[in-house]
Chains A and B, each alone.
Chain A
Amino acid sequence: MNVVVCVKQIPDPATPGKLDPNTKTLVREGKLILDDSDAYGVEMALQLADKAGGGEVTLVSMAPNEEVGGLRTALAMGAAKAILVSDESLKGADALTTAKVLAAAIKRAEPDLVIAATESTDGYTGTTPVQVAELLGLPAVTFAKHVEIDGSTVKVDRQTEAGYDEVECPLPALVTVTAGVVEPRYPSFKGIMAAKGKPVDTLKVGDLGIEAPAVGQQVVDVAAAEERQAGEIVVDEGDAHERVVAFLEQLKVI
């Protein structure tokens, strides 16, 4: 079974994000890393391909400056190869533009299953995977907390407000996985070494046979949010609970 995993390479979440004051797009200089949320999808794909007894896991990503740092991490986990679309014309791309590019790249891998995270950690729009599915004419099951393949059907436990739904869907299909769907492996030393030699097919938008899609939205203003002020800090010396109780009393919740 061939599985494509959509992965995003993002600025390290440990360093706060910034917007360029002139272009009002995300500053994405410096090293990009594999979005943590995508490690679950990569692991899921590896396990499903393994269980199916064959097939490849292909990564598909879109990133500026031919950045491959995050892809190498996922290749080191065990993915076979990667397709990276890197094109100056995609700067400031919105979710639908990104979906058009990813969909065109995914088509090349002819997957039985496409896996993505529910949303990225840096942009968290959370619509790109479903847009990709629609553009590819695929059914989708989102917010999966458990995924199984049974013949040509994917069986998913899908998170809901009230609990979860058991959902069945014929392949090919797209599934988005929540964090915690599986426990991602750490790349082994052998995996890291092997990843260096794995193929990364770097493409421009023109190579996909599509034109750079027009972006239909723009940021018009950026401002710092109203900050909450830090209040009283109490170092516990055995009686801090009294302060908590007094605070709750003052708020009349007890």
Chain B
Amino acid sequence: MAFDKVWVLAEVADGKPTGTTLELLTKAREIGGAVEAWTWGGEGSAVAATLGAYGATKVYDTGDLGGALPGVPVAAAMAAQVQGGNAPTAILAATSYDGRDIAGRLSAKLDVGVLTNVVGLSDDGTSEHAVFGGTTVVKAAFTGNPPYLFLVRPKSFAAEESGGGAAEVTTVEVPDAGATNAAKIVQRHVEERIGPKLDEAAVVVSGGRGLGEAEKFSMIEELAKLLKGAPGASRAIVDAGWVPYSYQVGQTGKTVKPTVYIACGISGATQHMVGMKGAKNIVAINKDQEAPIFSIADLGIVGDVHKVLPKVIEALQSRA
């Protein structure tokens, strides 16, 4: 066993551990001896049963963070445990907003590196990373002392229950982090999304620059709705302000692995492909026959999205 003890940074949304958290716990069980989880904001007790069912025996919770962004206080609490002698061999976190903040802070606090964009981990201690838009797989390993920090891309591992009982919850002290802990959340905003979540949907329909204008994104939403799927977007149209960032599929956005991914007016920049090439089936509609997206599409339609999409939508409506 490469890792005696593995900590998993457990993120909680709507009172439940995120899907990626369960993926990380499953992997941690495979490569590690003991598996323990970390939560913050007092969420630990609510999710202890689920975390336990996926293999965590213990949950460390920081308690209420007083509105602080989690990066600093959670990393400070973890560093205090490590420096106090309770150190894991490896720490797994998701490549998420908070995961990256916490791992970055912890790395600097403990003076240990972080391996990022991990898509594979084996019990010989090496990690796999997809680079250059997923065309190349690099294997890497730490050369220094543990703990080893890994930031893992969502959907890299399957989540499977272990059948374990509820994890034991321990509230840990958050040391005073001084000026570094001064960023406070004053108001939260939830953006309404209809239908399934982008990274959980069986069908994802995404639009890109080829749509021509923001209003045409409604075709993407319509088709996604008809297929009970989720609408997504390329970085180009998110940067252009047509749709919120939460729609973005790609390296800087969400990683999706649906049954079907339908790319409409998306040329297939590497930054986009890395987020969707894990889809089981890919359909691409683009008027440029040379578009890179066609090199990975199971079905490629060389055509104008403005002509093809309305007909697909109409055909599906007439079936309903």
A residues within 8 Å of B by Cβ? 13, 16-17, 19, 24, 94-96, 99, 118-119, 121, 124-131, 133-135, 137-143, 145, 158-170, 173, 178-180, 214-225, 227-228, 230-236, 238, 240-245, 247-248, 251, 253-254
8 Å CB contact of A19 from B13, B136, B190, B311 = B136
Point out the residues of chain A lying under 8 angstroms from B304, CB to CB. 236
CA–CA, A244 to B261, complex, Å? Answer: 12
Q: B279 → chain A, closest Cβ, in Å?
A: 9
CA–CA, A19 to B72, complex, Å? Answer: 34
Point out the residues of chain B lying under 8 angstroms from A165, CB to CB. 185, 187-189
Q: B172 → chain A, closest Cβ, in Å?
A: 19
8 Å CB contact of B134 from A119, A168, A225 = A225
Contact A228 B188 (CB under 8 A): no
Point out the residues of chain A lying under 8 angstroms from B144, CB to CB. 214, 216-217
Contact A217 B140 (CB under 8 A): yes
Residue B183, interface by CB 8 Å: yes
For B13, B277, B300, the residue with the greatest tally of chain A CB atoms inside 10 Å of its CB is: B300
Chain B residue nearest to A155 in the complex (CB): B186
Contact A241 B296 (CB under 8 A): no
Contact A162 B191 (CB under 8 A): yes
Point out the residues of chain A lying under 8 angstroms from B190, CB to CB. 162-163
Contact A225 B187 (CB under 8 A): no
Residue B202, interface by CB 8 Å: yes
A contact face: mostly helix, strand, loop, or mixed:
mixed
Contact B178 A137 (CB under 8 A): yes
Chain B residue nearest to A221 in the complex (CB): B139
Question: What are 10 A-B contacts defined by CB distance under 8 Å?
Answer: A19-B136, A130-B101, A131-B104, A139-B183, A140-B180, A165-B189, A167-B185, A220-B139, A223-B137, A247-B299
Point out the residues of chain B lying under 8 angstroms from A128, CB to CB. 104
When A and B form their complex, which 5 residue pairs have the shortest distance between CB atoms, in order from nearest? A236-B303, A130-B104, A216-B144, A134-B108, A241-B311
Contact A244 B112 (CB under 8 A): no
For B97, B111, B251, B259, the residue with the greatest tally of chain A CB atoms inside 10 Å of its CB is: B97
For A134, A140, A215, the residue with the greatest tally of chain B CB atoms inside 10 Å of its CB is: A134
Contact B138 A219 (CB under 8 A): yes
Contact A248 B300 (CB under 8 A): no
8 Å CB contact of A251 from B229, B281, B289 = B281
**A-B Cβ contacts below 8 A, count:** 272
Point out the residues of chain A lying under 8 angstroms from B271, CB to CB. 121
8 Å CB contact of B179 from A125, A137, A160, A232 = A137
Contact B239 A179 (CB under 8 A): yes
Given A130-B101, A139-B182, A216-B144, do A224 and B137 touch, yes or no (CB 8 Å)?
yes
8 Å CB contact of A135 from B108, B298, B299 = B108
8 Å CB contact of B69 from A118, A141, A253, A254 = A141
Point out the residues of chain B lying under 8 angstroms from A233, CB to CB. 289, 294, 297, 300, 302
Contact B140 A230 (CB under 8 A): no
Contact B135 A95 (CB under 8 A): no
Q: A158 → chain B, closest Cβ, in Å?
A: 8
8 Å CB contact of B252 from A118, A138, A245 = A118
Point out the residues of chain B lying under 8 angstroms from A238, CB to CB. 307
With A125-B117, A127-B151, A217-B140 known, 11 other A-B pairs at CB within 8 A are A96-B111, A96-B113, A130-B101, A135-B108, A159-B245, A160-B188, A170-B182, A180-B239, A217-B115, A225-B137, A247-B281
8 Å CB contact of B187 from A130, A166, A242 = A166
Chain A residue nearest to B311 in the complex (CB): A241
CA–CA, A152 to B183, complex, Å? Answer: 13
Contact B138 A19 (CB under 8 A): yes
User: Which of B21-29, B55-63, B155-163, B312-320 sits within the interface?
Assistant: B312-320
Residue B308, interface by CB 8 Å: yes
CA–CA, A230 to B127, complex, Å? Answer: 28
CA–CA, A128 to B114, complex, Å? Answer: 10
Contact B181 A139 (CB under 8 A): yes
Interface string of B128-148 (1 = CB under 8 A from A): 001111111111111111000
CA–CA, A217 to B148, complex, Å? Answer: 10
CA–CA, A167 to B189, complex, Å? Answer: 11
Contact B97 A223 (CB under 8 A): no
Point out the residues of chain B lying under 8 angstroms from A230, CB to CB. 294-297, 300
8 Å CB contact of B246 from A133, A163, A215, A251 = A163
Residue B100, interface by CB 8 Å: yes
Contact B252 A124 (CB under 8 A): yes
8 Å CB contact of A245 from B238, B295, B300, B316 = B316
8 Å CB contact of B116 from A95, A161, A170, A218 = A95
